[in-house]
Structure 1
Amino acid sequence: MDSLKTELIIIIFILISSILVAQNQNEVPCSGEKYEQFDFWEGNWKVYDKEGDLVGTNKVIKLQNDCVLQENWVSKLSKNTGTSYNYYNPKDDTWNQIWIDNSGFIMNLKGHFKDGKMILKSDLVEANPRSFANQITWKKNKDNTVTQIWTTVDEKGKVIYEIFYGIYKKQGNI
């Protein structure tokens, strides 16, 4: 009788485990509208300035079951390269970017997708003569290009200086 109980317990355990594993395999942890808001940036890109000159290449891929967008930047004007990790955080309903480049520059940005644009901004940087925040905006254009504008802004969001203006044109496969 004890061996029958033991076998029954093992069978029940295996069935419950199988059901839980099957349920977990069907779950996609980073799916839904919010997680897809930055998908327009995914791709293999050549990046041009306002004058149409090639300034770099950027490969943006999805990783970790589509939970992360990884950017891989290579400048054509300097030896600058960099990588960013971009993700949606459901706990505070924000998009986040962590940027690190080969000069050691690190930048953390946070923001939202609004009016067809991804707008991410750093915390305020205390500097003389005035404090500023870095703000980067990405917008998908009707011709399937993406415009990226990196500016510094004051405490009220007024643009102080434009650091980078890039027009992304998609190239072949990722």
Structure 2
Amino acid sequence: MKNVLILLFAFFSYYSAFGQNQSCVCCTEKHAEFDFWIGTWEVTGPNGNKVGNNILTKVENKCVLRENWTSATPGYTGTSNSFYNLKTKQWEQIWIDNQGASLYLKGNRKGNQMILKTDKETNAQGKTFFHQVTWSANEDGTVRQLWETYTEGADVVIAFNGLYKRKQ
């Protein structure tokens, strides 16, 4: 019993010392590239009408950007987790809403924009398509989110175009 207690004490002492000296793995410039989206936002459409509210926070020791969306249309909500994947050297996002829909996006920041895309898929008509979502950090502190769907042989369809304004 005494040996077990000594082992436990040694383990917890090592773990405690290691944990206190551990630096923030996700406190890098790459992990901060999407921080312009952090905040509490009111979102409007191109016509200026409110389309929803969004709250974005950093969680999991600053490794994950968590989104909590509430639509102005009653009953529709969704959440996403965005993170910089050290292994693939790209940003990834997983979106899931309360209607069972999901979206998996990958990409990187270019200039003032975070550009994430889905993999190509084939629709019921045999045409390939993919989704691209672009977040633009504007000089006035707003953020524009533009979700476009690209389908082979068709015009680009805008699925969402929202302007994020910080709530006071």
* TM-score under structure 1 length normalisation: 0.83
The answer to whether 1:72 aligns with 2:68 is: yes
Aligned residues with identical type, % of pairs: 41
The answer to whether 1:39 aligns with 2:35 is: yes
Listed as ranges, the gaps of 5+ residues in structure 2 are: 1-6
1:131 corresponding residue in structure 2: 128
Mapping for residues 17-32 of structure 1, pairs under 5 Å: 17=14, 20-24=18-22, 27-32=23-28
Partners of 1:93 and 1:39 in 2: CA distance: 17
Instruction: For residue 120 of structure 1, give the secondary structure of its aligned residue in structure 2.
Output: strand
RMSD value over aligned CA atoms?
2.3
Deviation, structure 1 residue 19 = 5.2
Whether the aligned pair in 1 keeps the contact of 2:142 and 2:166 (CA below 8 Å) is: yes
Deviation, structure 1 residue 85 = 0.4
1:98 to 85, 89, 94: 94
The answer to whether 1:149 aligns with 2:146 is: yes
CA deviation vs aligned residue, 1:138-162 (integer Å, no higher than 9, x gap): 0110110000000102469x96211
Q: Check 1:64–1:155 CA distance in 2 against 1; reply closer, same or farther (3 A cut).
A: farther
Whether the aligned pair in 2 keeps the contact of 1:73 and 1:81 (CA below 8 Å) is: yes
Listed as ranges, the gaps of 5+ residues in structure 1 are: 1-9
1:3 corresponding residue in structure 2: none
Q: Check 1:78–1:21 CA distance in 2 against 1; reply closer, same or farther (3 A cut).
A: closer
Whether the aligned pair in 1 keeps the contact of 2:112 and 2:138 (CA below 8 Å) is: no
* Aligned length in residues: 158
CA deviation vs aligned residue, 1:46-89 (integer Å, no higher than 9, x gap): 00011111010001111011100111111113521100000000
Q: Check 1:22–1:138 CA distance in 2 against 1; reply closer, same or farther (3 A cut).
A: same
Instruction: For residue 36 of structure 2, give the secondary structure of its aligned residue in structure 1.
Output: helix
